[in-house]
Amino acid sequence: MTEQDFLIQLKTGDKAAFARLVALNRSRVLNICYRFLLNKEDAEDIAQEVFITVYHSLKNFRGDSQLSTWIYRIATTKSLDELKKQKRKKRISSLGKTLGIEEVSNWIVGNDRPDKTLEDQEGYALLMKALDQLPENQRVALTLSKVEGYTVSEVAAIMQTTESAVESLLSRAKINLRTNLT
Amino acid sequence: MKKDKNILEQFENLTPLEPSAEWDKGLWEKLDRPYTKQDSGPFTRIVLLGLLFLLSLNVYYICGDLLSDKKTQTSSKLKTIASEYLISTNSSNY
C-alpha cells in the first residue's frame, strides 16, 4: 500500500488505519515530547494530545511533506507550547508567592503537580535553565537531533529549513548550552 | 564544571521512553471522547475571577441601595406617623 492509499484510508476516519499510524509513530512522538519536556508524565500526556490533534486534523493535511514529518512537527509545536505554558505557570506562581496568595495563583494556573521533575532536581533545573536560554530554533534543532535515530535531513524537514542551516544551528546551540551551563 | 558536564551527558544519553499499554489505552479513551477544546488557560481564569469580582461588587452596591431605600422609606413613614400624631394631638388640644 502506498502512502497515498494509506492517507485516503486515514482521511475517511478508518480507525484501524489510524491505529497503524499510531503504532508506527508513537515511540518517536513520545521521545520528541520527552526530549523537550524532560518529564515522563508530561511527555505521555502531550504525546496523546499530538495523536488526538493528528486524528482531527488529518482532513487538512495536504501532503506537502511526509505524513510522519507532519506528525513530528505537531509534536514539536505542542511540546514548545507546553513549555511556554509551564513557564507562564511558574511566573504566575512566583508572583503569587511574592504577594502571599499562593493558593489563588495555583488555582489560576492549575498547578496541581508542583514537584513533577526528573529525579535529579538540581541537575534538571540547571539543564532546563540552560535550554531556556537558547533561542527557540537552536533548542528545537538540538533537541530533535538528540531523539534517537534522527538525521540532520529529518530535523531539517521537520523544521522546514535546509540541512546546512540545521548544522549551523546545532553547532551554535552546543556552544551556547556549554556557556549557559558554566 | 564536572557537574555541568554530567548534566550535559545526562541530556545526551537520556534513556528513550517506550509507550506502555496504559498509554495506548489512555489514547483510545481520549479519542472516543467528544473532541473539545482544552481546559481554560490562566488568562481565562483571570478574566473569570475579574468578572466574579465585578459581579460581587455589583451585588454589594445593589444590596446597599436597597437597604438605604428601606431606611429612607421607614424614616419617611415614621415622619408621617409623627406628624399625623402631632396634628391629632394639636387638634384635640383645641
> Can you read off the three cell numbers belonging to residue A91?
511566573
- CA-nearest residue to A82 within chain B is B41
Residue-wise pLDDT tens digits, A59-99: 888 888 889 999 999 999 999 999 888 888 777 766 766 76
- B37 reaches A (C-beta below 8 A): no
A148 touches A31 (CB < 8 A): yes
Domains held by chain B: number: 1
Query: What was the pLDDT predicted at A122?
Result: 65
Which residue type occupies A18?
F
CA angle A50, A54, A56 (to 5 degrees): 120
pLDDT at residue A37 above 70? yes
Residue B93 placed within a domain: yes
Rounded to the nearest angstrom, the gap between the alpha carbon of residue B58 and the centroid of all alpha carbons in its chain is 13
Residue-wise pLDDT tens digits, A58-68: 888 888 888 99
Neighbours of B87 (CB within 10 A): 10
Determine, for residues B14 and A35 on separate chains, whether the beta-carbon distance falls below 8 Å: yes
Contacts of B12 in chain A (CB under 8 A): 146
pLDDT at residue A115 above 50? no
**CA dihedral (A121, A123, A129, A132) positive or negative:** negative
Share of chain A above pLDDT 90, in %: 40
Instruction: Pick the more confident residue, A142 or A148.
Output: A142
> Can you read off the three cell numbers belonging to residue B70?
428601606
Distance (Å) of CA A43 to CA A32, A37, A96, B10: 8, 6, 27, 17
Query: What was the pLDDT predicted at A81?
Result: 92
Instruction: Pick the more confident residue, B87 or A30.
Output: A30
Neighbours of B17 (CB within 10 A): 17
Which phi and psi (to 5°) does residue A2 adopt?
Answer: -80, 165
Query: What was the pLDDT predicted at B72?
Result: 78
pLDDT band at A120; cut points 50, 70, 90? low
Domains of chain A: 1-116 (1.10.1740.10), 118-182 (1.10.10.10)
A4 to chain B, closest Cα gap in Å = 24
C-alpha count within 13 angstroms, C-beta hemisphere, residue B80: 6
Range of the domain at B79: 42-94
Residue B17 placed within a domain: no
Neighbours of A10 (CB within 10 A): 21
| pLDDT < 70 stretches in chain B | 1-5, 36-41, 92-94
pTM above threshold 0.90: no
- A52 reaches B (C-beta below 8 A): yes
pLDDT band at A23; cut points 50, 70, 90? very high
B39 touches A57 (CB < 8 A): no
